[in-house]
Amino acid sequence: AQTVTQSQPEMSVQEAETVTLSCTYDTSENNYYLFWYKQPPSRQMILVIRQEAYKQQNATENRFSVNFQKAAKSFSLKISDSQLGDTAMYFCAYSTGTASKLTFGTGTRLQVTL
Which three-class secondary structure state does DSSP give residue 84? helix
Binding another protein by CB under 8 A: which of 44, 69, 83, 113? 44
| Minimum CB–partner distance for residue 79 and another protein (Å) | 19
Cβ closer to another protein: 18 or 106?
106
**CA-to-CA distance for 49 and 58, rounded, in angstroms?**
10
Cβ closer to another protein: 35 or 68?
35
| Minimum CB–partner distance for residue 40 and another protein (Å) | 11
Binding another protein by CB under 8 A: which of 2, 8, 45, 64? 45
CA distances from 38 to 29, 41, 82, 83, 92 (A): 25, 10, 14, 14, 9
Q: Which stretch binds another protein (CB under 8 A): 17-25, 66-74, 76-84, 99-107?
A: 99-107
**CA-to-CA distance for 112 and 21, rounded, in angstroms?**
13
> Looking at this protein, which amino acid is placed at residue 52?
E
Q: Tell how strand 108-113 and strand 10-14 pair up.
A: parallel
Q: Does 98 bind another protein (CB under 8 A)?
A: yes
Which three-class secondary structure state does DSSP give residue 103? strand
Q: Does 104 bind another protein (CB under 8 A)?
A: yes
Interface contacts to another protein, rule CB under 8 A: 33, 35, 37, 42-47, 50, 52, 91, 95, 97-102, 104-107
